[in-house]
Amino acid sequence: MPLDRHARRFLEMLAAAGKARGRYEDVEERRTALAHLADLVDPPGMVEIGGVREHLLPVHDGHISLRIYSPLGPPARQLPGMLFFHGGGWVAGSLDTHDGLCRRLSNETGCRIVAVDYRLAPLHPFPYGLADAWAALNYVAHNPKTFGIDPMRLGVAGDSAGGTLAAVLCRMARDAARDNPHAPHIAFQLLICPILDVHGESAARRELAEGYFLDSETLQRDLELYVPPGTELSDVRLSPLRAEEFAGLPPAFIHTAQFDPFSDEGEAYAQRLGGFGVPVHGRAHPGMIHYFYSMPRMIPYALEAVGIIGTEIRYVVDLPVKERRVHRRIRPELIRT
Amino acid sequence: MSNARDRITAIACQLLVKRGIQAVPRGEDNLREAGLTSLDMVNLMLAVEAEFDIEIPQSAMTPDNFDTVAAIDSLVCVTLKAA
């Protein structure tokens, strides 16, 4: 399928606008660009929601903010929950850049969403962000009443670089449970256009390296800032796709985009999980580009995609579905149509 | 009703104000040099399309056509005539 016409138009406009391509020097430039993009395509605070509040969580060497979203509907003492980790190459992104997405995800999934403002590189390189994510997961899982969340229906979610964190948390929680009966239980993982192998050697990485919104040189610069020298890129905490076994990981919902450099990684991860008996659902969204799900003002299909995700998650957390859809396991032909 | 160039200038001014820049670009001033980011330029394109109820054709989506208020004015005139 060709590029969605709205996505194509967005890429044309970016090209005509003289989008700064490639390598950036100043990380603030990268952060500002993502914040400006969010203002343009999905401004924060615009989606009606049941409630929003913030919580400050002490972590090693500091504090991080958690933003808790409650879905529209009658107030509930306890709801299924979902920790959300935003994308932005581990160097950019914020609670605000993904505020619209979190609001829609909360309404569509019926989950109370806890968005985590994990610390970013270069000031906090790997594994700081992951440690913050692990701290947030443990805190929410062990204090469910504080958040009004059912700890047995708590999932993790993330997009792009946040998807890496979510995927790795699942592995950490599974491994921790072998020795610790109080390790957090993760009921599901939702990975939206996740980065799952930082080696970046897939066909999609090569074929979509430039001109599809996220350029390879930008990604390379993100990685330079995030990964300290001497760290193995094949560390499964950076490249969970490189793990050798996947048994016992939580059910996965993996959403990829046809014209996303990370699409092959999502497909391969789905196959690896499925090969180890992990239930996998998801969709390869045809004609779409990276970050499409957060661009409803530019790419209307973003709303439909989040609706699809909402239906999937409602099934797994045992909430009434808004609309019944047929789900298919990810297959290669669905990814690269 | 102001003319097209005034309406385009007003849109550019609104975007510059969002960047903390209080300036009225003249017709030939380069808008990027005036302080608009690339995403502001996308916003400008969308706003111009909405303001004049036009869709800028793909063939006209070039950086030169959005450098200045005067260039955008010309583009709008051509697009309106072609409609």
Strand partners, A156: A83, A189
Residue A110 has what pLDDT? 96
Contact A63, A138 (CB under 8 A): no
pLDDT of residue A200 exceeding 60:
yes
Count of domains for chain B: 1
| Rounded Cα distance, B10 and A209, in Å | 37
Judged on CB neighbours under 10 Å (0-12, 13-18, 19+), B54 is middle
Count of domains for chain A: 1
Selected residue of A11, A12, A13 to mutate for chain B interface (largest B Cβ count, 10 A): A13
Region A172-201: mean pLDDT is: 96
Judged on CB neighbours under 10 Å (0-12, 13-18, 19+), B82 is exposed
- For A72, the token pair is 């529209």
Residue A334 has what pLDDT? 35
DSSP labels, A227-247: SPTT--TT-TTT-GGG-S--T
pLDDT of residue A89 exceeding 60:
yes
Known catalytic residue at A160: yes
Chain-chain contact of B45 with A16 (C-beta, under 8 angstroms): yes
pLDDT digits (tens, 9 = 90+) for A16-73: 887 555 678 899 989 998 998 999 899 999 999 999 999 999 998 899 999 999 999 9
* φ/ψ (deg, to 5) at B10: -65, -40
Residue A335 has what pLDDT? 32
Instruction: Provide the residue range defining the domain that includes B39.
Output: 4-82
CATH classification of the domain holding B28:
1.10.1200.10
Interface of A with B (CB under 8 A): 9-10, 12-20, 32-33, 36-37, 39-40
DSSP labels, A6-31: HHHHHHHHHHHTT---S--S-HHHHH
CATH classification of the domain holding A49:
3.40.50.1820
**What Rg do the C-alpha atoms of chain B give, in angstroms?**
12
Residue A53 has what pLDDT? 97
Contact A105, A309 (CB under 8 A): yes
Instruction: Provide the residue range defining the domain that includes A310.
Output: 5-335
A-chain CB neighbours of B43 within 8 Å are 40
Catalytic entry in A239, A260, A285, A294 = A260
Catalytic entry in A94, A160, A202, A263 = A160
pLDDT of residue A337 exceeding 80:
no
pLDDT of residue A328 exceeding 60:
no
Region A94-118: mean pLDDT is: 98
| Rounded Cα distance, A231 and A225, in Å | 12
Interface of B with A in 34-73 (CB under 8 A): 37-43, 45-46, 58, 61-63, 65-66
pLDDT digits (tens, 9 = 90+) for A219-277: 999 999 999 999 999 999 999 999 999 999 999 999 999 999 999 999 999 999 999 99
Residue A323 has what pLDDT? 54
Minimal CA separation from A222 to chain B, in Å: 20
pLDDT digits (tens, 9 = 90+) for A138-176: 999 999 999 999 999 999 999 999 999 999 999 999 999
Residue A327 has what pLDDT? 46
Q: Does B32 touch chain A (CB under 8 A)?
A: yes
What is the interface pTM, i.e. ipTM, of the complex? 0.87
pLDDT digits (tens, 9 = 90+) for A279-299: 999 899 999 999 999 999 999
B-chain CB neighbours of A33 within 8 Å are 37-39
* φ/ψ (deg, to 5) at A284: -95, 105
| Rounded Cα distance, A301 and B17, in Å | 31
